[in-house]
Chains A and B, each alone.
Chain A
Amino acid sequence: MGEALLEVENLHVHFPTPDGVVQAVNGISYSLGKKEILAIVGESGSGKSVGVLSLLRLIPARDCKVQGSVNFEGQNLLKLSDPEMRELRGNRIAMVFQDPMTSLNPVLRIGDQIQESVIEHQGISEKIAKSRAIELLELVGIPEAGKRYRHYPHQFSGGMRQRIMIAAGLACEPSILIADEPTTALDVTIQAQIIDLVKKLRREIGMSVIWITHDLGIVAGLADRVAVMYAGKIVEFAPVDQLFKTPQHPYSRGLLNSLPRLDARSEKPLEAIEGLPPNLINYPASCPFLERCSYQTEQCQIPPEMRSITTTHEVCCHHTEKL
């Protein structure tokens, strides 16, 4: 993978609540290489969004307890002061959120929203910033960018707004773009356009991407490596081909088997994963997948550690040999 651009080590995010501590993220570690697209897959509540939001410290510190380290360009992001963090956010690391309908300011022209970060971070004049914003709009495929620059968010459709969000994210040429389910709110034909755009941008401007999703179909066509999350932990981490061909964790395997396939119809019932994910307040002392796992043994009472099977493939399970 070469040199890592971003290294996350043993990240914990816990939310104290009146009912107890919600253990949203429980010690995840991963690295992101240059020009790499890393997909983080998981179901709702698996901690995938909280995990990346806390990288950028977007969750107010008074609401949660974050532990671990996030190394980016020689600094630990979790230790930076607020002004230092602000300098970095939107400049070196940008984020695109899930819902394009609510993540743009409805009373500001989109041009202003795109150039805001350039003016803030790079201190260039408004005039240059404007031409930069138009350039970006063209890059993300908005027709008549010069005219559309002056429009407000409500004059755009969902797909267009997500392109604008991406344009705003790219404004300062960040080295990392974090996309939190950016296509979930969009239709499939528009989703295909956005995925195509992100791939093109990776090729052309060489940024790295962390793409959070629950859709394994998107992962297959987009990612280089995949982290599968379950109950706040990464349970499997592998290059995309290995994950789909030889999934090693019972959960990843179950997830892949439970998907109906567009390219092959079978009369057999789907292999559902029975049961529900554990409650994150009373976090189990055992392996978190224990209750839903068909391979469970005595050993599983002790939570497994992440271990490498091959140089690139890591799994968090006691029984990988049996699978």
Chain B
Amino acid sequence: MTEPIVKVKNLSMHFGQASGFFSGPQRLVKAVDNVNLEVFEGETLGLVGESGCGKSTLGRSILQLCKPTTGTVQYRGTDLVKLEGKALRKMRNRFQMIYQDPYASLNPRMKIADIIGEPMYIHQLHPRSEIRSEVEKILKMVGLARDFADRYPHEFSGGQRQRIGIARALAAQPDFIVADEPISALDVSIQAQIINLMRNLQQQLKLTYLFIAHDLAVVRHISDRMAVMYLGKVMELTDSNTIYEDPLHPYTQSLLAAIPIPDPEKEREREANRVLLDGEVPSPENPPEGCAFCTRCPRKREVFETKKIDCSTKAPTFAEAKPGHWTACHLYT
């Protein structure tokens, strides 16, 4: 954990409909808005947030699967946003993605050997004659039998397919992997298998993960540091234990309080002093002017009384509140 392998600076991804004759003024969805973060070599950075907060879009725009509107993404010193065409394609084997839905992310007409072999072939990582044996090696690595190589995706269960998805990502020999909700489509008992597999592979191959998920318990288990997103912005970023033990941002606090813990005694204890969030996430097409969270924030009044700042007009900056603990809230400025 020394050098940042990926450095994201002022990254924004805005989706807009071009204003046409009939469509009226242009509507802009700020899916990712001015995000700054670093991923260090060998670590797992967890990225959590509710649906629509922009966590997947952030992952995709880091990997240049969608070109960011503004900002830079430095991978080992190279700005990926500026790269295009062949130059970008040549780099692509270094950073790979594991997708959420193992049923949709594997081509049903390709044999497993071809699915896993394709990245090796495209990036010319092995001579053609050796691809087959390399595929079998990787299958073994992800805990699948060698003879699975000649079968088709429909013959496998969700957990096995996700292993194939992981194998395909590994085939390109990446050192940075974005895993976009890799376990949320799986059953509980299978989830643990995949989490353990991902951890083992990380140690074996010295991988760096950006692990996107909405399940905070899973993210806490697997990641070293954690970033919490809300409405396109990173609200809090620090190491995983601190975020649970000492959450600073009011959103993180209420998010943690809303997650049920599988222990009846603890649940009764927590229920007594639980503050439930009112309302819902505002539309990203029309976000609040000030702090993104101000429409639901239970501590808005406190900010006004102690800091004389109106959260609904003035947006907080993302700053280091304690050493290594970044948050975007007026309470800590």
Q: Which residues of A contact B (CB under 8 A)?
A: 43-44, 157, 159-160, 187-193, 195-196, 214-222, 240-241, 244, 254-256, 258-263, 265-266, 269-274, 276
Contacts and interface: CB of A to CB of B under 8 A. Distances in A.
26 contacts: A44-B187, A157-B280, A160-B280, A187-B50, A188-B214, A189-B255, A189-B277, A192-B260, A192-B277, A215-B260, A216-B188, A217-B259, A220-B261, A220-B266, A220-B267, A241-B265, A254-B189, A256-B262, A259-B192, A259-B262, A260-B192, A261-B221, A263-B244, A270-B196, A272-B195, A274-B193
B256 interface: yes
A188 B188 contact: no
Most buried by B among A189, A216, A259, A274: A189
Nearest to B241: A265
B264 A255 contact: no
Interface in B253-295: 254-268, 270-271, 274, 276-277, 280-281
B187 A220 contact: no
Contacts of B280: 157, 159-160, 190
Nearest to A226: B264
B150 to A, nearest CB: 20
Most buried by A among B187, B268, B274: B187
Nearest to A41: B188
A90 to B, nearest CB: 28
Given A260-B218, A262-B217, A273 B192 contact: yes
Contacts of B271: 221
A262 B222 CA distance: 11
Q: How large is the interface on B (under 10, 10 to 19, 20 to 34, 35 or more residues)?
A: 35 or more
Nearest to B197: A272
B51 interface: yes
B220 interface: yes
B191 interface: yes
B254 A244 contact: no
A276 B255 CA distance: 33
Contacts of B261: 217, 220-221, 261-263
Given A189-B277, A258-B188, A274-B193, A265 B263 contact: no
Most buried by B among A215, A272, A274: A272
A173 to B, nearest CB: 25
A269 B51 contact: no
Contacts of A217: 217, 259-262
A266 B199 CA distance: 13
A196 to B, nearest CB: 6
Contacts of A43: 187-189
Given A189-B258, A221-B264, A270-B195, A259 B244 contact: no
Given A244-B263, A263-B244, A265-B221, A255 B258 contact: no
Interface string B206-231: 00000000101110111000000000
A44 B199 CA distance: 25
B50 A188 contact: yes
Contacts of A271: 192
Nearest to B216: A262
B159 interface: yes
Nearest first, the 7 closest Cβ-Cβ pairs linking A and B are A217-B260, A260-B221, A221-B267, A272-B192, A258-B192, A192-B258, A270-B192
A255 B191 CA distance: 11
Contacts, number: 129
B249 to A, nearest CB: 14
B157 interface: yes
A221 B276 CA distance: 14
A272 B189 contact: yes
B264 A241 contact: yes
Given A220-B260, A272-B192, A188 B218 contact: no
Interface in B97-154: none
A265 B46 CA distance: 14
Contacts of B159: 276
B220 A262 contact: yes
B240 interface: yes
Contact of A244 (B157, B188, B195, B264): B264
Given A159-B280, A187-B214, A190-B280, A258 B264 contact: no
Nearest to B274: A192
A188 B258 contact: yes
Most buried by A among B188, B191, B193, B274: B188
Nearest to A188: B258
A236 B265 CA distance: 20
Most buried by A among B216, B257, B266, B268: B266
B298 to A, nearest CB: 12
Contacts of B190: 272, 276
A138 to B, nearest CB: 15
Contacts of A187: 50-51, 214, 281
A100 to B, nearest CB: 13
A262 B256 contact: yes
Given A192-B274, A259-B217, 5 more contacts: A189-B277, A258-B191, A261-B262, A265-B241, A274-B193
B160 to A, nearest CB: 8
Most buried by B among A43, A220, A222: A220
B276 A260 contact: no
Nearest to A256: B262
